[in-house]
């Protein structure tokens, strides 16, 4: 990923950044710009910290140790070492590297808090941190290390380590380098941290919040794709579209349900397959729950995402540090670094991801079962018995759904005390975010396999044609995946469908046919 200046930079100032800003910087490589107003406020609050640094009375984070060691007063001559030692000792992560987009999201959000002027750092700390982002320098940050309380300490400490010119980083092209070398290549000078600054760089929920912002963005698209896959399965299974009527949905005024039902109805509009069995001659009284109740499940998931969006918006508007420099000049200890509000919604999203995947897998299983698929061949095979068709694709779905159910087990109910019992209750929000990322990847794969199966079912309904919406998705899939036929190496077909889902190509095809989905 390279930092792009093709569009205007994201402004980072006293006000909050948005979820869209986080995605633009994290995924699209957008540059950022600190506002003049922000730099002025940073400088103003720094004068308060410098006054307290000269005060003989100890002030936490300014002239004391940290956590359980906060009782020790640190003399002036040791305070640079204090801040440097804090960063080095807290950069204690372990395990695989986390994704570049997570690193950039986390760094942007820490910078956003610095930009509020509530942390007491010098302006050069914020401008150099911004310089790392704009240079495309991504500190190496590891999977394990954060308890989601006192901030995402270890991950943020690894980022701060790069700011002082230490530790490994990835350059814009993904190459491994030292922080000192990468900074020198971009004309950046490592920062020598002064009072309070090391603490200000690590005391935030920025890692888990960054991952929440990315997850919300992913789920906004994935839940539309789940509506598309549901519509395709309804069509392939000769289901009815009558249950998705707006007046029926209005009897239960759940907003997400209404949006999902509307999407499915639009995808099925003007479908010759649906029309072929509509009317009094259709002996089916009602479809199975996995078809009929698709809007209730996907809609409930949408409402949960909207709740998560509300919490994320509040967190994006927060200035999280401890101690914090208040607008009236006080330097006050607080507990705002506790990740509970973010951790809860991360866990909640993992639950709905598992359930949306579960109902998708049930529709796929129905498509493959000759006893329930209304005339389609067993497993949608070309020559059943000789060919296995998509039998094992459903196994793949089932294995993923089983994993998603395990990932739905909440991380936020766990707490392991740390720092000699000073930090005796933690949120595990980082862990909740990490498992949600894995769950979202699983949901995308499950829905892609449903689309693969439903598209084959629709093709096998020929000479009847699908509706404009579902037909457009089938056509987009067929650009990468062949239609029904004898068995072939199936894994590449699945991966092609996953890639089309991830790139947004399938959603774009649907929306080109029926308009923007809710």
Read off the pLDDT of each residue in 362-385 and give the average, rounded to a whole number: 97
Active site (catalytic) residues? 60
Worst-scoring range by mean pLDDT, 41-55, 95-109, 199-213, 262-276?
Answer: 41-55
Q: How many domains does the chain have?
A: 2
**Is residue 340 assigned to a domain?**
no
Distance CA 129, CA 126 (A): 5
Q: Count Cβ neighbours within 10 Å for each residue of 421-438 and write b for 16 or more, e otherwise.
A: eebeebbbbbbbbbbbbe
User: Both 43 and 124 in a single domain?
Assistant: yes
Query: What pLDDT, in 10s, does the model give residues 153-187?
Result: 999 999 999 999 999 999 999 999 999 999 999 99
Picking from 233, 235, 263, 224, the residue whose alpha carbon sits closest to that of residue 467 is: 235
The last residue of a domain, from among 179, 204, 229: 204
pLDDT-derived band at 488, boundaries 50, 70, 90? very high
pTM assigned to the model: 0.95
User: Both 57 and 199 in a single domain?
Assistant: yes
65, pLDDT greater than 90 = no
User: Both 223 and 244 in a single domain?
Assistant: yes
What pLDDT is stored for residue 68 in this prediction? 67
283, pLDDT greater than 90 = no
Q: Which residues pair with 33 in a beta bridge?
A: 11
User: Both 120 and 222 in a single domain?
Assistant: no
**Is residue 334 assigned to a domain?**
no
DSSP string for residues in 249-292: HHTS--HHHHHHHHHHHHHHTT-HHHHHT-STT-------HHHH
What pLDDT is stored for residue 377 in this prediction? 98
Distance CA 382, CA 325 (A): 70
Burial of 293 (0-12, 13-18, 19+ CB in 10 A): middle
Helix, strand, coil shares, percent, the chain, to 5:
55, 5, 35
Indicate which CATH number applies to the domain containing 233: 1.20.200.10
DSSP string for residues in 363-412: HHHHHH-TTTSSSPPGGG-SSBTTB-TTHHHHHHHHHHHHHHHHHTS-ST
- Of the CA atoms within 13 Å of residue 161, those in its CB half-sphere come to 25
User: Both 180 and 97 in a single domain?
Assistant: yes
**Is residue 326 assigned to a domain?**
no
Distance CA 257, CA 292 (A): 12
User: Both 510 and 455 in a single domain?
Assistant: yes
The last residue of a domain, from among 185, 204, 223: 204
The last residue of a domain, from among 186, 204, 222: 204
Supply the range of the domain harboring residue 147: 10-204
How do beta strands 176-178 and 142-144 pair? unpaired
pLDDT-derived band at 281, boundaries 50, 70, 90? low
Rg (CA), the chain: 26
pLDDT-derived band at 424, boundaries 50, 70, 90? confident
Is the previous residue joined to 205 through a cis bond, with omega within 30 degrees of 0? no
What pLDDT is stored for residue 5 in this prediction? 54
**Is residue 115 assigned to a domain?**
yes
pLDDT-derived band at 420, boundaries 50, 70, 90? confident
Coil/strand/helix, residue 332 = strand
What pLDDT is stored for residue 2 in this prediction? 59
User: Both 251 and 152 in a single domain?
Assistant: no
**Is residue 25 assigned to a domain?**
yes
**Is residue 343 assigned to a domain?**
no
What pLDDT is stored for residue 238 in this prediction? 97
* Cβ within 8 Å of residue 131, ≥6 positions away: 186, 188
User: Both 149 and 282 in a single domain?
Assistant: no
Query: What pLDDT, in 10s, does the model give residues 82-112?
Result: 899 999 999 999 999 999 999 999 999 999 9
Q: What is the largest CA-CA distance in the chain?
A: 90
Read off the pLDDT of each residue in 429-453 and give the average, rounded to a whole number: 98
Supply the DSSP symbol for 177. Answer: E
Indicate which CATH number applies to the domain containing 56: 1.10.275.10
Read off the pLDDT of each residue in 256-276 and give the average, rounded to a whole number: 97
Read off the pLDDT of each residue in 26-47 and give the average, rounded to a whole number: 97
Supply the DSSP symbol for 420. Answer: T
User: Both 126 and 70 in a single domain?
Assistant: yes
User: Both 143 and 262 in a single domain?
Assistant: no
Percent of the chain with pLDDT over 90: 86
DSSP string for residues in 95-113: EEEPPHHHHHHHHHHHHHH
User: Both 295 and 163 in a single domain?
Assistant: no
Asked whether 60 and 70 are in contact (CB, 8 A), the reply is yes
Query: What pLDDT, in 10s, does the model give residues 174-233?
Result: 999 999 999 999 999 999 999 999 999 999 999 999 999 999 999 999 999 999 999 999
C-beta neighbour count of 518 within 10 angstroms: 16
**Is residue 3 assigned to a domain?**
no
User: Both 389 and 410 in a single domain?
Assistant: yes
What pLDDT is stored for residue 3 in this prediction? 67
**Is residue 338 assigned to a domain?**
no
């Amino acid at each position: 990923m390279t930092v792009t200046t093709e569009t205007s930079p994201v402004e980072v100032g006293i006000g909050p950044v948005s979820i869209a800003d986080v995605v633009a910087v994290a995924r699209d490589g957008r540059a950022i710009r600190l506002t003049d107003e922000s730099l002025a406020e940073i400088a103003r609050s720094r004068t308060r910290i410098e006054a307290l640094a000269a005060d003989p009375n100890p002030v936490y984070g300014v002239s004391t140790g940290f956590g359980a060691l906060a009782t020790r007063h640190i003399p002036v001559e040791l305070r640079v070492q204090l801040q440097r030692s804090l960063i080095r000792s807290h950069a204690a992560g372990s395990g695989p590297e986390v994704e570049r987009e997570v690193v950039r999201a986390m760094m942007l959000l820490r910078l956003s808090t610095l930009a509020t002027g509530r942390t007491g750092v010098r302006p050069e700390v914020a401008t150099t941190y911004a310089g790392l982002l704009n240079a495309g320098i991504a500190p190496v940050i590891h999977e394990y290390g954060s308890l989601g309380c006192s901030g995402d300490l270890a991950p943020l400490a690894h980022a701060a380590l790069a700011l002082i010119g230490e530790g490994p980083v990835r350059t814009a092209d993904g190459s491994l380098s030292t922080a000192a070398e990468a900074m020198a290549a971009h004309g950046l000078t490592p920062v020598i941290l002064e009072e309070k600054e090391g603490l200000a760089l690590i005391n935030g929920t920025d890692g888990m919040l960054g991952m929440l912002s990315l997850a919300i963005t992913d789920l906004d698209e994935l839940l539309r794709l789940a509506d598309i896959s549901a519509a395709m399965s309804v069509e392939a299974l000769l289901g009815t579209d009558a249950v998705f009527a707006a007046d029926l949905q209005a009897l239960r005024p759940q907003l997400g349900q209404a949006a999902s039902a509307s999407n499915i109805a639009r995808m099925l509009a003007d479908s010759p397959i649906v029309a072929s069995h509509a009317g009094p001659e259709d002996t089916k009284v009602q479809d199975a729950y996995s078809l009929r109740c698709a809007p209730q499940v996907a809609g409930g998931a949408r409402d949960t995402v909207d709740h998560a969006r509300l919490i994320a918006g509040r967190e994006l508007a927060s200035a999280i540090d401890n101690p914090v420099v208040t607008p009236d000049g006080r330097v006050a200890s607080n507990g705002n670094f506790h990740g509970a509000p973010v951790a809860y919604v991360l866990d909640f999203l993992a639950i709905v991801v598992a359930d949306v995947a579960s109902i998708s897998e049930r529709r796929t299983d129905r498509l493959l079962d000759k006893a329930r698929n209304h005339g389609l061949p067993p497993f949608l095979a070309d020559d059943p018995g000789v060919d296995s068709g998509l039998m094992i694709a459903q196994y793949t779905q089932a294995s993923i759904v089983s994993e998603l159910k395990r990932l739905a087990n909440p991380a936020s109910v766990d707490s392991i005390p740390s720092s000699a019992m000073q930090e005796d209750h933690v949120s595990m929000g980082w862990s909740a975010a990490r498992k949600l990322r894995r769950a979202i990847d699983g949901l995308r794969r499950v829905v892609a396999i449903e689309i693969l199966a439903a598209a084959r079912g629709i093709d096998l309904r020929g000479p009847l044609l699908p509706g404009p919406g579902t037909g457009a998705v089938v056509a987009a899939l067929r650009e990468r995946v062949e239609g029904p036929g004898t068995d072939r190496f199936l894994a590449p077909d699945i991966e092609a469908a996953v890639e089309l889902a991830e790139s947004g190509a399938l959603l774009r095809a649907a929306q080109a046919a029926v308009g923007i989905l809710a």
